[in-house]
């Protein structure tokens, strides 16, 4: 018994010694930036006024929480995230059901529809800005001209809608990939039995397909929510947060604070607020997904 216990102890120590460098590096990589952000959030530090520095207490947080621009950016973030989630989840479900059917060229079509997910966000934004949504030379302007409709200045007349369209185009293939993979594990015998009992396509979809995709939908929402909270490149390339604050989300608000106003303390306080909100959302989503997995 002693030999067996000592062998387990030695093996555990060896495993711990092998894991320790990687775990230590990971913790340093995470904790040092977080610690610096917390430190600067309590400092009066503006790069345009180096002489005015020192401990500010909760002044940065108080100033931010009374700034209408912060609440406007949080509202824009919620609208942006909610709209993209609705489009990608609903569109992903419908496309997954469509691509589950047999048709000529299905393999090529699957590759083509998934490919936008692998395009860099900056490149996607440039493609949509200069080739699709351009008011003179864009594809949409040409289509509107064919039907005798006036062209639309997308990024000045409908700026937030434009960002939602671009981001949804990027993330729809991801939702489709996850949902299509989950749909392929659906028991065809169950579907065939429902058809023999007289169930139509809509009944099969709502009572068999959707319940089967419940876990996959939860995973899609969780992963997309975490990434969509930090959308930046699409806004930076196309609208720069404008007109006014129309497309300024929380990530771009922090960017403006840090690199336009050079307010490191205020930007760090905004970063801490963003971290808190992201963790609240992540905890809620993880619990929801865990509950679905248990069921």
CA 140-146-149 angle, 5° bins: 75
Residue 195: the pLDDT is: 86
Q: Is residue 44 part of a domain?
A: no
Whether residue 159 lies inside any domain: the answer is yes
The answer, yes or no, to whether residue 149 has pLDDT greater than 60, is yes
Q: In CATH, what number is assigned to the domain containing residue 256?
A: 1.10.3720.10
208 assigned to some structural domain: yes
Residue 244 in any domain: the answer is: yes
The model's pTM: 0.87
Asked whether residue 48 is assigned to any structural domain, the reply reads no
Looking at the fold, whether 123 and 268 belong to one and the same domain comes out as yes
What is the model's pLDDT at position 292? 64
How many domains does one find in the chain? 2
- H runs (alpha helix) in the chain: 2-41, 59-65, 68-100, 106-114, 121-127, 139-146, 154-157, 159-183, 188-196, 201-204, 210-212, 214-228, 233-238, 250-259, 264-294
Other Cβ atoms less than 10 A from the Cβ of 138: the count is 19
Is residue 128 in some structural domain?
Answer: yes
100 is a domain residue: yes
Min mean pLDDT across 113-127, 146-160, 184-198, 252-266 is at 184-198
Contacts of 292 (CB under 8 A, 6+ apart): 214, 215, 218
Question: Residue 220 sits in which domain range?
Answer: 57-294
144 with 110, same domain: the answer is yes
Residue pLDDT, tens place only, 103-126: 888 889 888 888 888 899 999 999
Chain mean pLDDT for the chain: 87
**What six digits make up the tokens of 279?**
């963790």
CA proximity to 254, closest of 277, 284, 280, 220: 277
Q: What does the pLDDT look like over 229-250, one tens digit per residue?
A: 889 999 999 999 989 899 999 9
Residue 42 predicted with pLDDT over 60: yes
* Interatomic CA distance for residues 60 and 123, integer angstroms: 35
């Amino acid at each position: 018994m002693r030999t067996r216990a000592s062998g387990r102890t030695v093996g555990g120590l060896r495993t711990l010694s092998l894991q320790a460098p990687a775990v230590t590096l990971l913790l340093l990589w995470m904790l040092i930036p977080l610690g610096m952000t917390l430190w600067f959030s309590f400092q009066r530090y503006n790069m345009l006024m180096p002489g005015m520095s020192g401990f500010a207490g909760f002044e940065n947080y108080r100033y931010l929480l009374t700034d209408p621009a912060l609440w406007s950016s949080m509202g824009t973030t919620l609208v942006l995230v909610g709209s993209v989630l609705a489009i990608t989840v609903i569109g992903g479900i419908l496309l997954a059901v469509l691509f589950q059917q047999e048709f000529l060229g299905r393999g090529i079509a699957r590759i083509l529809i998934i490919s936008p997910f692998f395009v860099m966000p900056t490149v996607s934004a440039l493609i949509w800005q200069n080739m699709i949504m351009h008011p003179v030379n864009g594809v949409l302007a040409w289509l509107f001209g064919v039907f005798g409709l006036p062209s639309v200045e997308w990024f000045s007349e409908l700026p937030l809608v434009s960002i939602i369209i671009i981001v949804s185009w990027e993330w729809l293939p991801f939702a489709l990939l996850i949902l299509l993979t989950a749909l392929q594990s659906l028991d065809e015998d169950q579907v065939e039995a429902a058809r023999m009992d007289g169930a139509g396509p809509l009944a099969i979809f709502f009572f068999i397909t959707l319940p089967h995709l419940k876990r996959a939908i939860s995973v899609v929402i969780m992963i997309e929510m975490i990434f969509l909270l930090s959308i930046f490149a699409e806004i930076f390339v196309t609208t720069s947060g404008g007109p006014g604050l129309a497309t300024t989300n929380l990530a771009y608000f922090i960017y403006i604070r840090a690199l336009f106003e050079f307010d490191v303390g205020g930007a760090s306080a905004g970063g801490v607020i963003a971290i808190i909100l992201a963790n609240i959302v992540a905890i809620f989503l993880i619990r929801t997904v865990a509950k679905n997995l248990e069921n």
